Amino acid sequence: MTGGASAAGIEVNEKSALKFAPVYAAVKRISESIASLPLNLYRINGKSKEKATDLPLYRVLHLQPNQEETRMQMWESLVSHLLLWGNAYAQIERSLGGEIIALWPLDPSRMTPKRNNSGLLVYEYRLTDSGQTITFPFWDILHIAGLSYNGLIGYSVLSFMRDSIGLGLAQEDFESKFYSNGAHPGGVLESDQPIGDETIEQLKNQFMASYGGVTNSQKMLVLQQGLKFKPLTLPQKDAQALEGRQFSVQDVARWFLIPPHMIGDLGRATWGNIESQSIDYVVYTLRPWLVRIEQAMETRFGLTEEFEIRHSVEGLLRGDSAARATFYQSAITNGWLSRNEVRELEDRNPEPGLDEFLSPMNMSGKEEEAEPKSDKKEEKEETPIVEKKESEIKDVVRLVEQALKQIAGFPPGTQFRENKIREIGKRKKEGD
């Protein structure tokens, strides 16, 4: 474990730093945020991708990393190591076939990355305090490094912020001792007459019993034997102490690049900027750590271009219900999200018939499909016209037959052929 004395004289290391509330809040907030995000293994197929649920690595990343820990527990531990030590390590367990079947977190204070005589990167892990070590080849260790001077070993963040943390711990220690040991009635007792040692001791004991400690502060003094009360103004103002502690919170927030309201400082938070600050937290605080983790796993797991590992941060960026409704409406009507995809984002089951993409009629741009539709429409329009003409012709023929029957004196029901009709028409003409 790394550590050392701060300028304030307080010993600061990875464990003692967590006793300082702002540091604990920042580490807990970031580690919990990352550990709670869904982590998936995707198989890339051209421009599309799908979850590679058939591979053992998918279960390790998405469900349970090993037999003893949940995904939340392991990643919360690894991210806290990354924030405090600047490095996080996990042993990669593989099956006989070479597939990754488990990840086991390791104590970063016991790990030493180094190069062997052949120049290969190895990891030397100290098993016990007695010095017994085991050496791992680099392909058996998942190493996630933070900001680094050589691209291999990350800086210990606490080595840089030790004085900031030490100052905060010193302020807490001073104020605790001040209120626990200090007798602060707001002044001192004076006497014009000499007082013996025994009397002074009695007064002191009585005074501390009646007015010492936080619970007895600001009580009214009852004076005897010519004693006088003289008010005092201490240089340690309550307001100044509060300002100093508030500055320590803001200082820690700067070190971890986290919005102050995320660790309990709501001094400059408003209803209008909380949402934007929360989005900034995802984009500028979490995203760099997520990319480090994803790329470290893809490299050390030996994944090809066919696969990728990604965290899902959509849930953190959703905003309130009204904003999500507007966003989803635009996505559906403009055709870049289907209705079932929106349901999935809202943790709802898919429904039949909601997988197709919608698009406005004036934005379809499918001219080739429009032409056949117009042809079919014309055919449908032409068919009634032809039928109507045939019907009209038949009506005319019937009228002609009826007229000829009346002229020729045929009984009703007599059937004519075309040649007979022409013959009757010829006789009529000759008769005229």
Q: What is the pLDDT of residues 167-183, one digit of tens each?
A: 777 766 666 665 555 54
Task: List all residues 6 or more positions away from 190 whose beta carbon is below 8 Å from its beta carbon.
Answer: 227, 228, 229, 230
- Answer positive or negative: Cα dihedral of 245, 249, 254, 255: positive
Q: Is the pLDDT of residue 138 over 60?
A: yes
CA angle 48, 356, 365 (to 5 degrees): 90
CA–CA separation, 265 vs 252, rounded Å? Answer: 11
Q: Is the pLDDT of residue 395 over 60?
A: yes
Question: What is the three-class DSSP state of 41?
Answer: strand
Q: Is the pLDDT of residue 349 over 70?
A: yes
C-alpha dihedral (233, 236, 241, 242), degrees to nearest 10 = 0
CA angle 47, 50, 52 (to 5 degrees): 135
Q: How confident is the model at residue 298, as a pLDDT?
A: 96
Q: How confident is the model at residue 368 (pLDDT cuts 50, 70, 90)?
A: very low
Q: Is the pLDDT of residue 50 over 80?
A: yes
Query: Nearest to residue 142, comparing CAs of 108, 165, 182?
Result: 108
Q: Is the pLDDT of residue 335 over 50?
A: yes
DSSP state of 67: S
Beta strand 48-51 with 87-94 is: unpaired
Q: How confident is the model at residue 173, as a pLDDT?
A: 65
Ranges 29-38, 218-227, 361-370, most confident: 29-38
Q: How confident is the model at residue 175, as a pLDDT?
A: 61
- 349 and 343 Cβ atoms separated by less than 8 Å: yes
Residue-wise burial string across 2-18, b where 16 or more C-beta atoms lie within 10 A, e elsewhere: ebeebebebebbbebbb
28 C-beta neighbours (distance < 10 Å), count = 15
> What average pLDDT score do residues 245-254 get?
80
Q: Is the pLDDT of residue 353 over 60?
A: yes
CA–CA separation, 205 vs 200, rounded Å? Answer: 9
CA–CA separation, 69 vs 162, rounded Å? Answer: 32
Length of the chain, in residues = 432
Q: Is the pLDDT of residue 390 over 90?
A: no
pLDDT in tens, 139-198: 999 999 999 888 889 998 887 887 777 777 776 666 666 555 554 555 666 777 777 777
Extract the tokens encoding 402. 């009826």
Extract the tokens encoding 406. 């009346």
311 C-beta neighbours (distance < 10 Å), count = 19
Q: Is the pLDDT of residue 212 over 70?
A: no
- Answer positive or negative: Cα dihedral of 333, 336, 340, 342: negative
C-alpha dihedral (226, 231, 236, 242), degrees to nearest 10 = 120
How far is CA 265 from each of CA 166, 248, 261, rounded to the nearest angstrom? 20, 11, 5
More confident residue, 225 or 112: 112
Extract the tokens encoding 9. 């004289």
Q: Picking from 47-51, 91-95, 201-205, 278-282, which range would have the lowest pLDDT averaged per residue?
A: 201-205
- 158 and 2 Cβ atoms separated by less than 8 Å: yes
Q: How confident is the model at residue 365 (pLDDT cuts 50, 70, 90)?
A: low
Beta strand 228-231 with 187-190 is: antiparallel
> What average pLDDT score do residues 291-318 get?
90
CA–CA separation, 303 vs 262, rounded Å? Answer: 35
Number of separate helices (H) and strands (E) present in the chain: 12, 13
Q: What percent of the chain is modeled with pLDDT above 70?
A: 67
- 158 and 10 Cβ atoms separated by less than 8 Å: no
* pLDDT, the chain, mean: 79
> What average pLDDT score do residues 303-311 get?
94
Residue type (1 letter), 174: F
Extract the tokens encoding 40. 């998936």
Q: How confident is the model at residue 285 (pLDDT cuts 50, 70, 90)?
A: very high
Q: Against a cut of 0.85, is the pTM above it?
A: no
Q: How confident is the model at residue 239, as a pLDDT?
A: 45
Q: How confident is the model at residue 218, as a pLDDT?
A: 61
Residue type (1 letter), 331: A
Q: Quickly tell me which residue has 């912020």 as its tokens.
A: 161
DSSP state of 68: S
Residue type (1 letter), 349: N
Q: Picking from 42-56, 101-115, 310-324, which range would have the lowest pLDDT averaged per residue?
A: 310-324
Tell me, rounded to whole angstroms, the distance of Cα 33 from its chain centroid.
7
